[in-house]
Structure 1
């Protein structure tokens, strides 16, 4: 016959363990719910002004002035957008959008070429002073960009690029932040692939183009997204280098719109112009957001 005292002694630790597991599981659930609640609150704080800005673009000027904070308009109108698109003289918003698309797209393509080649040199090639040069340039990149405004403008003026797209496209192609990401991503790719390609007679350019480039696509897409949005949203530099209204990108144009539509005269049209300006980058993020997750893992280029 079994001894009940011994049986109780054996089952007591198991019961204690089960209680400990339940308590830890409940504490984890509470922490998870608190985290969700915090994220929901942040989301609401961020989304409400965006929704209010969108709905304001569909309000009449009378409603904007006479009513206080109201999330949804009483009457939805499209007159603001019609007026925006019809104004092709003082505020050619479609022209500004086309200028921004051209500048940001060409800038992004050149950035991808430059940072991929530079990252290959810093990660796969051996030359004297390689790491010293890299970390020196990386340290210099931490200085505020405003320090370079006057020298950069002097260079652009000397090259005759004032009021041209090149003033927006060429500067910033070799951003050290992007080069750092590409370099670290390439370091996760085994160098055995390089050696195998060299045995087959491939040179550095063939290895870069045929072996490395297909593997670093996720990080290049992420850097491209950063470059596109950075070029699209750049405000201070285009305001400095552009004076011709027809050649301005959309950010510099929005500053001009504050003088045309501001002072509570045409707030709906000003908000409508701002909404049109964010649509391209919003669509870009929606279609390419999965690559952000892939880029978090610096070894995402290698599978299996």
Structure 2
């Protein structure tokens, strides 16, 4: 049985790795570190284009686990159909919650309090004072209430909000309150001052934020996207932004990276960050702990954490 493990870190950088596997360092370079057919456990390089992440998969005829270092798995899904049945796909739940939730709060506060305008004023040596919206007393809607959505609410808790509503694929109850199904969005959107998108990209969420969704948002509302760019219909969002009816803070866009000259760059009322929700100093220790845990479970033939799906089922 093959025992090669492909890692985007050097094995000696990760404490607690089991000794048995043969560790191969590969971070998306042109040359593979070994024969892909000998790989049993593939850790997908982080922050690489989908074409890079997927390139060795078709040749990984012995792979048993594909482990992403991102919460989303949409960048590897197209290649999983080429794998034999029984391959387990795991995500990086527990790695990105803190940093993505931090950025979400940053985008909300910066947008409401007018920080981008202050920066432009500083560049122009202009004192741009005046009243700005506060997060206090606002109603926030979190669309996508997994571990990241929950972490976002944890950080919103001290801000004296009027209300937090939670939406996910299916209804359930949490310690903080009910999670409502996606079908209730039409009634929740008109009541929300801030709408945060933290849902995974799936066929059901692709284009979820379309013209109808946006038209139901209340005047002056803020849309925050820390999910995936294609969750939002960019053309429909541009129309709303250019009307001045709503504002937006986007860590992800469609297309991405956003090319020079794209109208979204200069749309009124938009703050754009370059998909930096995950890559912070918090990533490295959490990612390495996850890999050590997962590989220990793998070697001991115990159930893995964060299983998203198993091919052929």
TM-score by length of 1: 0.25
Structure possessing the higher relative contact order (Cα contacts under 8 Å, 6 or more residues apart): 1
Larger helix fraction of residues? 1
Larger strand fraction of residues? 2
TM-score by length of 2: 0.25
